[in-house]
Amino acid sequence: MWFKIRIVFISLFIPCCLSAQNMLWKNLPVDSLKDLTDIINEIRHKDVRKEMAERNKHHIQIGIFPAIGYTLQTGFAVVVSANAVIYKKHRSAKDSTSLPSTISTSISYSQKEQVILPFQATLYFNNNKTILISDYRYLRYPTYTYGLGPNTTPQDSTLLNYKYFKFHQSVLFQVHPHVYIGAGYILDYFFDVRQVHKQQTPSDFQTYGSESTSFSSGVSLNFMRDTRDNTINAYKGNYINFVLAPRLKFLGSDANWTSMMLEYRTYIRFPRSSSNILALWSYNWLTLNGTPPYLMLPSTGWDKTFNTGRGYIQGRFRSNNMLDAEAEYRIQLTRNGLFGMAVFTNFESFSNISTWQFGTPAPAGGIGLRIKLNKYSRTNIAIDYGFGREGSRGFFVNLGEAF
């Protein structure tokens, strides 16, 4: 939904003008559920019913979340994130199907001197008939890469230092209920790219032919089908997203090359009489022609929300083609919805950079805790512990579900 801020300890939570429609969870009115805002109000001895009534008056939810974060890739980080969920005015749960718009941004600084500044928005207009999708970000991002292909090892790591500016903007139009087509402009600019430590033998980064800068400019052709009941945390429905993205020299790109992304998600209540959800995700990122810059190749954890391959560090596998399949079983632990848990597994397969033949999939899995941050938008804090092959393991903590 947005650039996922990994939160381990929330140092301060500031609810600002929280509001929404009267959504249901397992046939319970949302006002009977509980989230962290309710807990904070109880600790501060505020009138919970009065605060809840105030939250229900508004149609915009805004949250500001200062925190201390952690990922395998960044180490500890100071994070300030903000998100807004916007509902159509005067809508009711009974007479409108208008979906909420979402806007999110954050700024973080890590112990590895990384700066991360994203902005993402999905805005619905004209009763869902038009969608404006924005994905912008700036990274100053010293990070490790582990070579190319499916058979690399942790010992193949190379530290790269670079800056990255991303501008992806698209607009989609409804052509059938829940079905959209559209187009957009995409720009990815990497600069000040350098390998930090010299090695006795050339790294895959060096032999691939990478430069200190890369400029990729092109268009996107989009198809989407979305029947989810909620874009942040779905309880039912499915989602199909197809993006064809040719980068073109006449638009300023350093080279002509084309990538394709095909994504599928589905959400099933299982058992049917329970509040538990079986969520399935397939994310396939392919190079159709040309030679992408090294840092634009499909890679673990470099999907839009940086969540593929939990159990492995971001960038652990990289090549010209990637297939990813994930499953997660989400269990409600408390009737009031405050706590839940999840068990997950995933498999990633990458092609050989020369032959384009796929290797043996890399498996991973884990278990996690869910804490309801906002019961109206269904936003959870997701704290997962994942593990993969060759001793890979660590915490993967998100603001929101992984998918």
Q: What is the pLDDT of residue 95?
A: 41
Q: What is the pLDDT of residue 49?
A: 64
Residue 8 belongs to a domain? no
**Cis omega before residue 363 (within 30°)?**
no
Residue 7 belongs to a domain? no
Residue 4 belongs to a domain? no
**Is 377 within 8 Å of 61 (Cβ atoms)?**
yes
Residue 6 belongs to a domain? no
Contacts of 170 by beta carbon, 8 Å cutoff, 6+ apart:
132, 133, 182, 183, 184, 185, 220, 222
Residue 21 belongs to a domain? yes
**Is 116 within 8 Å of 141 (Cβ atoms)?**
yes
Q: How far is CA 75 from CA 71, 94, 336, 390, 395, in A?
A: 5, 46, 33, 20, 11
Residue 233 belongs to a domain? yes
User: What CATH number does residue 250 fall under?
Assistant: 2.40.160.50
What tens digit of pLDDT does each residue of 256-306 get? 999 999 999 999 999 998 899 999 999 999 999 999 999 999 999 999 888
Contacts of 329 by beta carbon, 8 Å cutoff, 6+ apart:
270, 276, 277, 278, 279, 342, 343, 344
Q: What is the pLDDT of residue 56?
A: 60
Residue 1 belongs to a domain? no
Structure tokens given for 238:
């499915």
> Pairing between strand 28-29 and 24-25?
antiparallel
Q: What is the DSSP letter of 204?
A: H
Q: Per the structure, how many domains does the chain have?
A: 1
Residue 5 belongs to a domain? no
pTM: 0.86
Number of CB atoms found within 10 A of residue 118's CB: 22
**Is 379 within 8 Å of 62 (Cβ atoms)?**
no
Which runs of E-coded beta strand occur in 112-236? 115-125, 130-140, 143-145, 158-176, 179-195, 214-226
| Domain boundaries, position 380 | 14-399
Q: What is the pLDDT of residue 60?
A: 77
Q: CA torsion, points 94, 99, 101, 104, in degrees to nearest 10? A: 100
Return mean pLDDT, the chain. Answer: 86
Stretches where the chain sits below pLDDT 50 are 1-25, 91-95
What tens digit of pLDDT does each residue of 185-201 get? 999 999 999 998 877 78
